[in-house]
Amino acid sequence: MSAIQDAPVRASSSFAALGVPPFLIGAIEAMGITEPFPVQVAALPSALAGRDVLGRARTGSGKTLAFAVPVVARLAASSNKAQPKQPRALVLVPTRELAAQVASAFLPLARAARLRVAAVYGGLPQRAQVAALMSGADILVACPGRLEDLIEQGYCRLGAVEVTVVDEADHMSDLGFLPAVRRLLDQTRTGTQRLLFSATLDQGVDVLVKRYLRDPVTCSVDGGTDTHVETTHHLFAVRASDKAAIVHQLASGAQRSLLFTRTKRGASKLAGQLTQAGIRAVDLHGNLTQNARQRNLASFAAGTSKVLVATDIAARGIHVEDVALVVHVDPPEDHKAFVHRSGRTARAGAIGTVVTLVTPEQVADTRRLTRRAGVETPTIVVGPGDDRISAITGPAAPRSAPVAQSAPQTSVRSAGSRPTSQFGPRRSGSASGGTTSGRSRRRW
């Protein structure tokens, strides 16, 4: 592979100046988007010209449109027609929620070009997904596992793919999907256009770039570990005995907030506690059925529930508008997870706030973690009712009547769920399941 070429630095531009076809500009404007984001300015000219593109951009930067527009434009300009079982474009994503989200982002563009979109991913019966493939889908958005299953069953072939997108490649690596991604890419024709987007190039992503991208143009609009400049970070040190009250106070604001816990049981339990307290909350984690996950996410996106309590399943790829506050109830295990959790707020130029809660034994490790993520903020000791918490949340939202939680709809029940915070089983040697070393024993 020849040396990767950087995309030329461009000033702020219009979609028309970037070469987007007029029929797609109308569809984009109908979505309420009038000006391109930096990643779109950087990637669209090369991608529309048929070049392979390596996009390095954080989540929430507008990169979905940066690959969706070139894919639809390329297929619309081609004389080929979709045949049963043979999609013309393939978009690989790491998670079910991201597959549904990306497919939805394609729909208005595809309708403008009279193209059909299908999404295949696990957690749902495959019958409808097979029917979509059999009817001749132009654009296929897929998670690697379900797609490989359908190929093995004879319901899909990739020989007609004209353009391939690999989104969130670094997260694919984190989840162990890169071997499946390679097997799928090997089934597409050599010489077809390929677009790869990743926040970082470590953990085997660089192998994908070298093996499958031809003379790619790289579009790097920000560093893979940078946090959003529009985000204000707070690191609050709390007593373990005060943590539940502080979490409830943080969740009580009128604006939409997203709370992260370390385990599935912790997320479910905390959502139930908040709802019982009159704060409408839903949970999102891997033990829920896919229908329950979609229903809860839709409730949060629509504002019916102001609080979403999630595990790291929601840290990558989920886009919900106007998340004002992210709370790391349990600090994550590494700085990448911290960046991607935090990236659920301050998306696409919006302003957001991130609060990380630490108990005494978590302080040292969490400070190292935030520094690696590029966040420098003082550790502040707070207690329940502290004015600094109220300054973040603003006036409390009106409480609803306590709602009884129905039994969780689980698809797989973990054998011996991992311990977590006081909102679930405790981790050995940790008061709240966060990142701990056990070296610091200060108490407030």
What angle, 0 to 180 degrees and rounded to 10, lies between the N-to-C axes of helices 243-251 and 264-276?
70
Report CA-CA distances (Å) from 259 to 136, 207, 248, 358. Answer: 40, 35, 11, 14
Q: What is the pLDDT of residue 440?
A: 37
Of 69, 48, 83, nearest to 113 by C-alpha is 69
Q: What is the pLDDT of residue 427?
A: 38
CB contact set of 374 (below 8 Å; sequence gap of 6+): 223, 225, 226, 227
Instruction: Write down the pTM of the prediction.
Output: 0.71
Alpha helices for 331-421 (secondary structure H): 335-342, 363-372, 387-393
Ramachandran region, residue 317 (left: φ > 0; alpha: ψ -120 to 50; beta: rest): left
If you write DSSP's letter for every residue of 87-134 in order, what string do you get? -SEEEE-SSHHHHHHHHHHHHHHHHHTT--EEEE-TTS-SHHHHHHHH
Task: Please tell me whether residue 57 adopts helix, strand or coil conformation.
Answer: coil
pLDDT tens across 332-357, in order?
A: 988 888 888 888 886 655 678 999 99
CA angle 416, 417, 420 (to 5 degrees): 135
Q: What is the pLDDT of residue 220?
A: 81
CB contact set of 79 (below 8 Å; sequence gap of 6+): none
173 contacts 92 by C-beta, under 8 angstroms: no
Q: What is the pLDDT of residue 60?
A: 65
Low-confidence ranges of the chain (pLDDT < 70): 1-12, 58-60, 203, 222-229, 314-318, 346-350, 401-444
Q: What is the pLDDT of residue 102?
A: 94
Domains, the chain: 5-220 (3.40.50.300), 231-393 (3.40.50.300)
Q: What is the pLDDT of residue 171?
A: 86
